[in-house]
Amino acid sequence: MPSNKSVSDAPIVQFTNCRILRDHRLQREDLWVREGKILNPEKLFFDEKGSADVQLDCKDSIIAPGFIDVQINGGFGVDFSLATDDFKSGIDLVSQKILSHGVTSFCPTLVTSPPSVYHQVLPQITVRNGGAHGAGILGAHLEGPFISKEKKGAHPEHCLRTFEAGAFQDLLATYGSLNCVQIVTLAPEMRRSSEVIRELTKRGICVSLGHSVANLSQAEEAVQHGATFITHLFNAMLPFHHRDPGIVGLLTSDKIPAGRRVFYGMISDGIHTNPAALRIAHRAHPKGLVLVTDAIAGMGLAPGRHTLGQQVVEIDGLNTYIAGTKTLSGSVATMDTCVRHFQEATGCSAETALEAASLHPAQLLGIEHKKGTLNYDSDADFLMLNDSLYVQATYIAGEEVWRQDVSGM
């Protein structure tokens, strides 16, 4: 069919015979892509009198936005909290490998580390678009070191820090630079945390509450100063108590500023959070749930000893512990596994499960105008999945970057 190229010479690809996740439901319509963006077919037909150059039969697949992982510490033997000479090749390896999990964008996460590690590693993380080389990098997630000693979890105690007189300057001195930082996790009960939250928010950095013994009023105050996220809900925080529900109480708090939504991360691997707790959180605040892997270097590797920053961890099946203890230390779950477990544990729709790994993290980071949806003019980062939500193919900017090897199935 001839196409009118009055607007662009780039080829137009039409994905047919599919169900597209758009406006919170799966809709039987075609997906049109040109120059890495999702096209509005009506404008194409009526304004340009154009048509497709290529048609691809999706064989009744689901097409959903690519997954966005805002908390991933590494994988495949690579630890983002270790300063190595070949750090760049390590981050490239992870970004390439997670394409098979449906992840098209991510925030490499550093756990509590000495200042020297931040100073060496952060300049080597650059925000970049995804492509055949791997998933896009949205910026770093710095989890610690300004967290609670009581709820340090797998974070090394000797590296923890507090805010002194020049609170924000302390943070800058510790990290060295905030140029590529997207999220900072801190404990809001720490003295002077409010001014730090305000300063980070002013710079467009998302502040997350975690590894904390904060009560509800301290958590609410942090949100009023600009915090918008909770790091792995239930893990590394005070357990829910009916007289003071702590950070967990933010899910139903009436002190959240008007027009603001608090999001919360959940490690839906069947280990970090009991399915009943996952259901409670989801039913209390479904629109805030963000699936994260919290994956460590051992993801994708055989059981045994691996690292998480300054610590040695042991992997036993899907359990990961600090060596010699029963302290959980990140996960080895992949994002697509988390999506499927979330759907199974909560009984939610496929649409809901997929949006928790795509739309919600995009909304958290304020990038939903280009990522996390299949709306017209947004980036053509999407997945083909079967009805059981197994990823069959991953696309970034409209180009196929990974496909399931059917011969091996």
d(CA 16, CA 13): 10
Does the bond joining 123 to the residue before it have cis omega, within 30 degrees of 0?
A: no
Establish whether 329 is an annotated binding residue.
yes
**Which two three-digit tokens encode residue 393?**
């193919």
> Residue 140 in contact with residue 120, Cβ under 8 Å?
no
Q: Angle 324-328-333 (CA atoms, 0-180°, nearest 5)?
A: 120
Query: What pLDDT is recorded for position 198?
Result: 98
User: What's the pLDDT band for 318 if we cut at 50, 70, 90?
Assistant: confident
**Do the bridges between strand 304-308 and strand 311-316 make them parallel or antiparallel, or are there none, so unpaired?**
antiparallel
Among 346, 328, 220, residue whose Cα is nearest residue 277: 346
The 3-class SS string of 202-255 reads: HCCCEEEECCECCCHHHHHHHHHCCCCEECCCCCCECCCCCCCCHHHHHHHCCC
pLDDT at 363 over 60: yes
Question: What percent of the chain has a predicted confidence (pLDDT) above 70?
Answer: 98
d(CA 184, CA 142): 5
Among 58, 17, 66, residue whose Cα is nearest residue 38: 66
pLDDT at 256 over 60: yes
**Which two three-digit tokens encode residue 181?**
């930082």
- Residue 158, exposed/middle/buried by CB under 10 A (0-12, 13-18, 19+)? exposed
Establish whether 309 is an annotated binding residue.
no
Establish whether 272 is an annotated binding residue.
yes
Which helix H or strand E contains 137, and what residues bound it? strand 136-137
Establish whether 330 is an annotated binding residue.
yes
Which helix H or strand E contains 395, and what residues bound it? strand 391-396
Strand partners of residue 28 = 19
23-46, pLDDT tens digit by residue? 999 999 999 999 999 999 998 878
Strand partners of residue 311 = 308
> Residue 263 in contact with residue 247, Cβ under 8 Å?
no
Establish whether 340 is an annotated binding residue.
no
Structure-model confidence comparison of residues 310 and 378, the more confident one: 378
**Domains along the sequence of the chain with CATH:** 13-64+373-403 (2.30.40.10), 66-365 (3.20.20.140)
Q: What is the pTM of this model?
A: 0.96
Establish whether 232 is an annotated binding residue.
yes
Query: What pLDDT is recorded for position 169?
Result: 96
Query: What pLDDT is recorded for position 8?
Result: 72
* Residue numbers annotated as active site: 294
132-150, pLDDT tens digit by residue? 999 999 999 999 999 999 9
Q: Angle 49-53-55 (CA atoms, 0-180°, nearest 5)?
A: 115
d(CA 164, CA 271): 37
What's the sign of the alpha-carbon dihedral 300, 124, 232, 342? negative
Establish whether 220 is an annotated binding residue.
no
Among 169, 168, 118, 114, residue whose Cα is nearest residue 142: 118
Q: Indicate the average pLDDT of the chain.
A: 94
Establish whether 235 is an annotated binding residue.
yes
**Which two three-digit tokens encode residue 208?**
């997350």
Establish whether 101 is an annotated binding residue.
no
Among 221, 216, 174, 176, residue whose Cα is nearest residue 195: 221
For residue 307, which amino acid is it?
Answer: T
Average pLDDT over residues 256-262: 95
Least confident of 6-20, 90-104, 150-164, 290-304: 6-20
